[in-house]
Structure 1
Amino acid sequence: MSENATIDPGRAEELRDQAVTQLVTDGTIVSQRVEAAMRAVPRERFAPEAALEDVYSPYGAVITKRDEHRVAVSSVSAAQIQAMMLEQADLRPGHRVLEIGSGGYNAALLAEIVGPGGAVTTIDIDPEVTERATRLLKENGYERVRVVRADAAQGVPEHAPYDRILVTAGAWDIPPAWMDQLAAGGRLVVPLRMRNLTRSISFLKSGDHLTSTSARICGFVPMQGAEEHRETLVLVNGTEEIALRFDDEVPADPHQLDNAILHPRVETWTGVTVGLQEVIDTLQLYLATHLPGFCIMAVDPNLDTGLVSPNNPRFSLAAVDDDTFAYLVTRRTPEEQSVEYGIHAYGPHGAAFADAVSEHVRTWAREQRGGPGPRIDVYPVSADVAADLVITKMHTRVTFTWPPATAAG
């Protein structure tokens, strides 16, 4: 007998309705199809290990498996993230859907939306995950969902083409099979990592490439198997206290930074202020696509000697220029209702680099602040792409087209 037998169905339904109502109120759920599915599927039955209050916390994930280092490798994603991606997918009854990354609950939501006239296939590389998904889907009346154990890099060609492909694990690249198995005019929703920043992007297939229709901040357990990709760490000063994380391009000679921290810190303030509740995801992407040497700085809290002083020791926007590095900081304004962006730089060219990074922040504020962000296109890596801002990965070339300054909000 499953753990679900001890759960009070009335209490579960009450919490489910409260969570869905909250997601409707905050604007995450905008369609009746997604709302109806999330009210219909009992989320607690796909996370029987967790307390009901945790299961129905709209913004919290439920970890279902960890590796030997206690790192999460499988989870039931936060309901807010799942609802957001379902809205990005624009699912319709009768659609054929491939879900990459199994768990059971999200596949049940997909099955509710596409209905008996549609088809849902879910794939995962981990046999424990697929066995669990198969069992839970069957127990809860979703036997028609196909569960496949395999490396998702190859997709599931026997049931292609798909009207929609939803990826529920963090992806560094888009394998050719996903594009090949997506129907013409179909939609791929994927949490894509680009220079250490993850965005859930909804892509439409147009000919030989994909074009974004929306991009939302998110976080996901990374993919395993052939498409697994690890960041490169550059240790400043040769110790693990300060690490610069690179997801794509890596400095040609990282050892040039060995003595950067020995130079006095240069501190520059940009004059750019943002409200405490203002969304600044476009600033992150703007710097990632315009600032050479962009990376993320992380400070080990157990080794921190105060050599650097970021606001967030685990995640600070940073960049490297040969023998010099810099990172963004903020300080409260006198009114305490906003913060101002500043730059800390270390190295023999700290002043010049701090000024260069500051100008990028000011340009964002003048030209892109409040705007829609860039259009993101994905082409096969062999394509001859005419674009100024390109990230080249293993299978693809990702391009960014920022709107003219007059179009920004």
Structure 2
Amino acid sequence: MTQMVDTSTGRDRATEIRNALTDKLRADGVITSPVVERAFRTVPRHLFVPEGTPLEVSYNADDSVAVKRDQDGVIISSVSAPFIQAQMIEQAGLGPGMSVLEIGGGGFNAALLAEVVGPSGRVVSVDIDSEVTDRASALLEATGYGGRVTVVRADAEDGVPDLDERVDAILVTVGAWDIAPTWLAQLSEDGRIVVPLRMNGITRSIGFRREGDHLVSTSAQVCGFVPMQGSGAHDERVFLLPDAQGRNVKLRFDGDVPQDMSLLDGVLATERDERWSGVTIRHGVSFADLHLWFASFLRGFCKLAVDEGTDLAAERRSWFPFGVVRDDSFAYLAVRPALEGAGVEFGARAYGARGETAATAMVEQIQAWDRWARSGPAPTFAYWPTGADRTPIGEGTAALEKTHGLVTISWPTAR
């Protein structure tokens, strides 16, 4: 006798959790438009993540779900966290009848976009990896979106071959170091591009619109994405600082590298120094803009990673992975208890003969951020393609050179 399996309970549970996720994103102000809300209530996210992923994981607002890893176990494709997917669609200002290009596709986000633009809109999703595009095509077909999304395998840096007209919006769903000229060529004159742009190692999802010959930001959100592959890839430069046991502190540079990194040989064997800023913050309060301030103005800025067994690994809760190099010394962002246990004070710990200089450089920027930017308006961004008529860079604005142009970060009160 054939056994009948009732799957209605599973469907009902998925719908319940999906609606709860959507309610949370609305309550948190992440979803602000009815079309995005409807898309999140409609598209079955759990059918786009790897089989066996628990529903609670599939619909967790803050978690991405890994889909593919490289030979070293590093995630190279994932279903992004729901909160950032919703934020980026809202940043793009999409609605019914619009056309959109998604760069970096896994299926689920493209299905959301298809719901937002509706039957009269158009969605093209491109990815460089044939495994990713084949999987996305199969999942979109299985969930009823096969005829509403065009999936293309291509290196988007070189343009999308099947895109025969400009689109109203471009959503880049991988971490980009630069904005490719081909993307701008495929964007309508009044269109928007939303891109997780890496700026000296710090990423923001920035919504841009055209203003004359350049782009200006309309919004920016903290985010994190797997890095872009192909022609648009930009690898960090990593320098290893070994300790006496052969374990390493790794300095990761996304932008300019100090001239002679060999000066840091043996630096971990020196006595550690520290300096404190007097700047405090309560537990649970974001200070993400401090990271961006470092990336803007701290010369020699880098990010840190440490091997287990190093002194820094043992002290992991008392520091953050942001550093600065000065000649033969380096410093990193540290914290110590403050505000009667309700918060911490920012400072810097340093190694090297000139550790005091490195620590002081970081502390001075902590104090400058506290003075000029912490309570002020959020920074704004602009992108100046090569050949654009760049305005003079004023005080309070950082300029970061890219392959195809220049990014500026302007802090309104830092004058």
Which region of structure 1 is more displaced relative to structure 2, 22-31 or 375-384? 375-384
Select 1:380's aligned residue among 345, 360, 385. Answer: 385
Select 1:294's aligned residue among 281, 295, 301. Answer: 301
Shift of 1:83: 0.9
User: Secondary structure at the residue paired with 2:344?
Assistant: strand
Shift of 1:311: 3.4
Counterpart in 2 of 1:394? 403
Q: CA 1:77/1:7 → structure 2, altered by over 3 Å: closer, same or farther?
A: farther
Q: Deviations over 1:363-392 (max 9, x none)?
A: 111111033332111112344632252111
Q: Contact 1:311–1:329 at 8 Å: present in 2 too? A: no
Which region of structure 1 is more displaced relative to structure 2, 397-406 or 174-183? 397-406
Q: Contact 2:377–2:413 at 8 Å: present in 1 too? A: no
Select 2:262's aligned residue among 235, 252, 255. Answer: 255
Distance 1:219 1:156 in 2: 24
Q: Deviations over 1:185-232 (max 9, x none)?
A: 211111111111111111112232111122211111111111112110
Shift of 1:335: 1.5
User: Secondary structure at the residue paired with 1:93?
Assistant: coil
Matched, 1:134 2:137: yes
Alignment of 1:313-392 (within 5 A): 316-383=321-388, 385=390, 386-387=392-393, 389-392=398-401
Distance 1:24 1:404 in 2: 31
Which region of structure 1 is more displaced relative to structure 2, 152-161 or 303-312? 303-312
Alignment of 1:53-72 (within 5 A): 53-72=56-75
User: Secondary structure at the residue paired with 2:176?
Assistant: coil
Shift of 1:307: 9.2
Q: CA RMSD in A?
A: 2.1
User: Secondary structure at the residue paired with 1:311?
Assistant: helix
> Structure 2 unaligned runs (5+)?
1-6
User: Secondary structure at the residue paired with 1:8?
Assistant: helix
Matched, 1:150 2:154: yes
User: Secondary structure at the residue paired with 1:343?
Assistant: strand
Distance 2:30 2:381 in 1: 22
Q: Contact 1:268–1:342 at 8 Å: present in 2 too? A: yes
Q: Deviations over 1:110-150 (max 9, x none)?
A: 01111112110000011111111111112222112110011
Q: Deviations over 1:298-326 (max 9, x none)?
A: 1111x41459945377x511111122211
Distance 2:165 2:263 in 1: 49
Counterpart in 1 of 2:253? 246
Q: Contact 1:183–1:205 at 8 Å: present in 2 too? A: no
For 2:222, the aligned partner's letter is I
Counterpart in 2 of 1:264? 271
**TM-score relative to the length of structure 1:** 0.92
Counterpart in 1 of 2:4? none
For 1:244, the aligned partner's letter is L
Counterpart in 1 of 2:39? 37
Shift of 1:359: 1.5
Distance 1:10 1:81 in 2: 25
Q: Contact 1:202–1:212 at 8 Å: present in 2 too? A: yes
Q: CA 1:208/1:334 → structure 2, altered by over 3 Å: closer, same or farther?
A: closer
Select 1:18's aligned residue among 20, 43, 58. Answer: 20
Distance 1:64 1:15 in 2: 21
Identical aligned residues as a percent:
48
Shift of 1:237: 4.7
Q: CA 1:125/1:6 → structure 2, altered by over 3 Å: closer, same or farther?
A: farther
Distance 2:15 2:170 in 1: 29
User: Secondary structure at the residue paired with 2:374?
Assistant: coil
Provide the aligned length of Structure 1 versus Structure 2: 401
Distance 2:285 2:380 in 1: 21
Counterpart in 2 of 1:96? 99
Shift of 1:283: 0.9
For 2:49, the aligned partner's letter is A
Distance 1:343 1:307 in 2: 16
Counterpart in 1 of 2:166? 161
Alignment of 1:105-120 (within 5 A): 105-120=108-123
Distance 1:395 1:74 in 2: 25
Select 1:174's aligned residue among 172, 179, 190. Answer: 179
Matched, 1:206 2:211: yes
Counterpart in 1 of 2:3? none
Q: Contact 2:175–2:198 at 8 Å: present in 1 too? A: yes
Q: CA 1:72/1:235 → structure 2, altered by over 3 Å: closer, same or farther?
A: same
Distance 1:54 1:294 in 2: 35
**TM-score relative to the length of structure 2:** 0.91
Select 2:286's aligned residue among 279, 299, 304. Answer: 279
